[in-house]
A and B are shown apart, each in its own frame.
Chain A
Amino acid sequence: MDLLRFATAGSVDDGKSTLIGRLLYDTKTVFEDQIESVERASRDRGDEYVNLALLTDGLRAEREQGITIDVAYRYFASPRRKFIIADTPGHIQYTRNMVTGASTADLALILVDARKGLVEQSRRHAFLATLLQVPHLVLCVNKMDLVGYDQGVFDAIQQEFTDFAAKLQVPDLAVIPMSALQGDNVVHRSDNMPWYQGSSLLHHLENVHVASDRNLIDARFAVQTVIRPQSGTHLDYRGYAGQVSGGVFKPGDEVMVLPSGFTTTIAAIDTADGPVEEAFPPMSVTIRLSDELDVSRGDMLCRPRNAPTPRQDVEAMVCWMDEQATLQPGRKYALKHTTRTVRALVKELQYQLDVNTLHRNEGATQLGLNEIGRVRLRTTLPLLADEYRRNRSTGGFVLIDEATNRTVAAGMVV
């Protein structure tokens, strides 16, 4: 059984929590004691109905304010697939948490209230999902029960979104009319919308084809650590442990080690369960090489004729995530990319991007919390990076403030 990670997005009252509650409830993932606890809490608060949002809003502050502050991760399974939901907050002030949830997602759900149509937050979240290269989007036109299950309403929203998405790079889009509250088209197909011929949301989640989303062309393996047991039975063992982040590696393959540029061949690919004939993303393995080379943490194995170009001048889109400081040209940060950490100087802020209008503000002098912009960085050592659009794991990085140790930004190499 395989795994699909998806993130939810959408404005505050679009019914995100109800939708998740419905998915969990109709797939029988909510446990009796959780339901009892939510019923008791709803009663104590004086809510008129059982508040399914209490299933996901786990922090005191969230319950007090009735909003989602941070990403929560939920798990459920259907007979076809297992799912990890990153339930991200709708509020604009928590955009960074949406970015956090979307960074590992295979698919993003964008909720729209059928009565309101596309609002700013729907556009913003669709933009963020495409910026982070989430390969699949599902526009959930929710609350169809409140517009009489009217096809005209649905068609208009679908058209509006398609027009907007034309400006973005949306590789795969599905649009589903539903009512999370009534359960229409969430887990079960609805009889209330005979005009809709597509799948229910769960059916879509179970069948969406994600196998081709990973980059299986460009072989990339960042070394995490060197395994040298130096015990009697493995006296000469020297293996490079890491996780494959692109391509397929096989014993006998010629490989190049970056940044040194030396080439050799793969002698064996080891796991604790024995050697394997091939390794592909996201397998964690240990690679042994035929020659004794100087290879250490932060180095990368790739193919001699297909290697990232080491570069110290990097252009990237960044999302600023810190509330205590702003990104300013001239400042230096620690930059963590794959298993390598370097220092980076912000040479230039090229523009700040308005995530609602996609307008580029070239006069911007800094980036504040939740703001996105394009920057030029200079690093102390070459970055062994691919463009983010080619590979999310070798194209993404974070910036860390060296004084406070806070993670202050997410970056994507352009």
Chain B
Amino acid sequence: MTAPRQYRLSQLQALEAEAIFIMREVCAELERPVLLFSGGKDSIVMLRLAEKAFHPGRIPFPVMHVDTGHNFAEVLDFRDRRAAELGVNLLVASVQEAIDNGTVTEPPDGTRNRIQTPVLLDALEKYRFTAIFGGARRDEDKARAKERIFSFRDEFGQWDPKNQRPELWNLYNGRIHTGESIRVFPLSNWTELDIWQFIAREGIELPSIYYAHEREVFERNGMLFGVHEVCRPRPGEEVRTERVRYRTVGDASLTAAVRSDADTVEKVVEEVAVTRITERGATRGDDKFSEAAMEDRKREGYF
């Protein structure tokens, strides 16, 4: 951060300063924070910000991944390597284990997004986490646009959009009773383009699937899905090899790729700057179930 003569910060510098302030507040005021880390770009950016917030000290909280068992192998490898490099404790809450134990039931369509929520809530309870950092951004979804940076959740992890704590200036209220928790979103004010510009500026490494590569894909509901053990073409869905990249890296059975030639971070920044389709619109099957899919899932305790 070099100071311009007129004492202005750039957009990215201002967003970074805000996120660092928020992370430090959480660690100063809440007893047991954890950062949700999937190996996706937003959570990778969160880890970099956490590094910066506590430098030259270490990141003072563990990270946790709610593993649906339907991940892209490249992303899991990356997740493990990154956590080891930073020396942070990586906890994994497994949806597959929960299915095997009978705690949750796999839905008939095989998608595991919805059953992530009880697995997440069980893990939060098990470790008694009181503050859970998430990489969600308000530009992702209209229900997210309404959420506070410190999002109060009751003892069931539920969000009540009509009863949110007012959030003024940078005074965040993290007071809770036993069993309740705060979801914290330091990237609330970032857009997809900010994330990519930050990744470029910081030279942050990402899982390879974020960059253009050749992949076997088929088309379903107007989206391009990669052939994966949990996502196979149905009769009539033709498999082709295309040059694609992923804009988000969620569950492989629900996350679609986009056609792209952007194989470097600079090219991705250019592509994101001119895209006419939102990140979720282009790549997420799970938000298309209903107009308020995200709000409904968040009410249940989802991020």
User: Which residues does A use to contact B, with CB under 8 Å?
Assistant: 1-3, 31-34, 37, 41, 55-61, 63, 69-75, 77, 82, 84, 96-97, 99-100, 103-104, 211, 214, 216, 224-225, 227-229, 231, 233-234, 237, 241-243, 248, 270-273, 276-284, 286, 297, 321, 334, 336-337, 339, 392-393, 396-398, 400, 405-407, 410
Chain B CB within 10 A, most for which of A31, A32, A63, A234: A31
Q: State whether B281 touches A407 (Cβ < 8 A).
A: no
| A interface majority secondary structure | mixed
* B34-66 Cβ-contact flags toward A at 8 Å (1 or 0): 000000000000000001111111100000000
CB-CB under 8 A from B27, the residues of chain A are 225
Q: State whether A97 touches B145 (Cβ < 8 A).
A: no
Known: A34-B278, A58-B143, A284-B20. A237 touches B168 (CB 8 A): no
Q: State whether A297 touches B52 (Cβ < 8 A).
A: no
Closest 9 CB pairs of A and B: A58-B142, A33-B281, A272-B55, A272-B52, A284-B20, A229-B57, A405-B175, A103-B168, A284-B17
Q: State whether A407 touches B20 (Cβ < 8 A).
A: no
CB distance from A248 to the nearest CB of B (A): 7
Q: Does B25 contact A (CB under 8 A)?
A: yes
Q: State whether B173 touches A276 (Cβ < 8 A).
A: no
| Chain B stretch 179-206: residues in CB contact (< 8 A) with chain A | 188-189, 191, 193
User: Which residues does B use to contact A, with CB under 8 Å?
Assistant: 1-3, 6-11, 13-18, 20-21, 24-25, 27-28, 51-58, 138-139, 141-146, 161-162, 164-171, 173, 175-177, 188-189, 191, 193, 275-278, 281-282, 291-292, 295
In the bound complex, how far is the Cα of B193 from the Cα of A82, in angstroms?
11
In the bound complex, how far is the Cα of B13 from the Cα of A280, in angstroms?
12
CB-CB under 8 A from B144, the residues of chain A are 58
Chain A CB within 10 A, most for which of B27, B56, B189, B193: B56
CB distance from A259 to the nearest CB of B (A): 18
Q: State whether A410 touches B166 (Cβ < 8 A).
A: yes
Q: State whether A70 touches B161 (Cβ < 8 A).
A: yes
Contacts A/B (CB < 8 Å), 28 sampled: A2-B14, A3-B9, A32-B281, A33-B277, A34-B281, A41-B291, A55-B142, A58-B144, A59-B161, A75-B191, A100-B168, A103-B169, A104-B170, A225-B27, A228-B57, A234-B57, A243-B21, A270-B55, A272-B55, A277-B3, A279-B3, A283-B13, A284-B16, A284-B53, A396-B171, A398-B168, A405-B173, A410-B166
Chain A CB within 10 A, most for which of B21, B57, B141, B282: B57
In the bound complex, how far is the Cα of B172 from the Cα of A393, in angstroms?
13
Q: State whether B10 touches A2 (Cβ < 8 A).
A: yes
CB-CB under 8 A from A31, the residues of chain B are 275-278, 281
B150 — nearest CB in chain A belongs to which residue?
Answer: A407
Q: State whether A58 touches B166 (Cβ < 8 A).
A: no
Q: State whether A397 touches B171 (Cβ < 8 A).
A: yes
Choose from B168, B177, B292 the contact partner of A396 (Cβ within 8 Å).
B168
Choose from A55, A70, A231, A271 the contact partner of B58 (Cβ within 8 Å).
A231
In the bound complex, how far is the Cα of B18 from the Cα of A153, in angstroms?
43
In the bound complex, how far is the Cα of B282 from the Cα of A340, in angstroms?
44
Q: State whether B9 touches A58 (Cβ < 8 A).
A: no
Choose from B17, B58, B188 the contact partner of A243 (Cβ within 8 Å).
B17
Known: A31-B281, A58-B141, A396-B171. A407 touches B6 (CB 8 A): no
Choose from A225, A396, A407 the contact partner of B28 (Cβ within 8 Å).
A225
B174 — nearest CB in chain A belongs to which residue?
Answer: A405
Choose from B7, B10, B15, B166 the contact partner of A321 (Cβ within 8 Å).
B166
Known: A73-B145, A75-B191, A283-B17. A273 touches B25 (CB 8 A): no
In the bound complex, how far is the Cα of B222 from the Cα of A32, in angstroms?
14
Choose from B52, B139, B169 the contact partner of A271 (Cβ within 8 Å).
B52
In the bound complex, how far is the Cα of B201 from the Cα of A356, in angstroms?
49
Q: State whether B173 touches A56 (Cβ < 8 A).
A: no
Q: State whether B145 touches A58 (Cβ < 8 A).
A: yes
Q: State whether B173 touches A336 (Cβ < 8 A).
A: yes
CB distance from A157 to the nearest CB of B (A): 31
Q: State whether B169 touches A75 (Cβ < 8 A).
A: no
CB-CB under 8 A from B7, the residues of chain A are 211, 214, 216, 248, 280-281
In the bound complex, how far is the Cα of B142 from the Cα of A37, in angstroms?
11
CB distance from B22 to the nearest CB of A (A): 9
CB-CB under 8 A from B138, the residues of chain A are 72-73, 75
CB distance from B199 to the nearest CB of A (A): 15
CB-CB under 8 A from B53, the residues of chain A are 241, 284
Given contacts A32-B281, A41-B291, A234-B57, 8 further A-B contacts (CB under 8 A): A71-B146, A216-B7, A225-B28, A237-B57, A279-B3, A283-B17, A396-B168, A407-B167
Q: State whether B295 touches A283 (Cβ < 8 A).
A: no
In the bound complex, how far is the Cα of B172 from the Cα of A407, in angstroms?
9
CB-CB under 8 A from B281, the residues of chain A are 31-34, 37
Chain A CB within 10 A, most for which of B24, B54, B58, B282: B24
Q: State whether A96 touches B166 (Cβ < 8 A).
A: yes
CB-CB under 8 A from A229, the residues of chain B are 56-58
Choose from A33, A55, A61, A237 the contact partner of B56 (Cβ within 8 Å).
A237
CB-CB under 8 A from A392, the residues of chain B are 169
In the bound complex, how far is the Cα of B141 from the Cα of A123, in angstroms?
33
B13 — nearest CB in chain A belongs to which residue?
Answer: A283
Q: State whether A61 touches B25 (Cβ < 8 A).
A: no
Chain B CB within 10 A, most for which of A77, A398, A407: A407
In the bound complex, how far is the Cα of B167 from the Cα of A231, in angstroms?
37
A277 — nearest CB in chain B belongs to which residue?
Answer: B3
CB-CB under 8 A from B3, the residues of chain A are 276-280
Q: State whether B57 touches A405 (Cβ < 8 A).
A: no
In the bound complex, how far is the Cα of B2 from the Cα of A257, in angstroms?
26
Q: State whether A70 touches B146 (Cβ < 8 A).
A: yes
Q: State whether A407 touches B165 (Cβ < 8 A).
A: yes
CB distance from B51 to the nearest CB of A (A): 6
B180 — nearest CB in chain A belongs to which residue?
Answer: A405
Choose from A58, A243, A297, A334 the contact partner of B295 (Cβ within 8 Å).
A58
In the bound complex, how far is the Cα of B57 from the Cα of A225, in angstroms?
12
CB distance from A174 to the nearest CB of B (A): 21
Q: State whether A273 touches B169 (Cβ < 8 A).
A: no
CB distance from B176 to the nearest CB of A (A): 6
Known: A72-B145, A248-B7, A396-B171. A297 touches B17 (CB 8 A): no
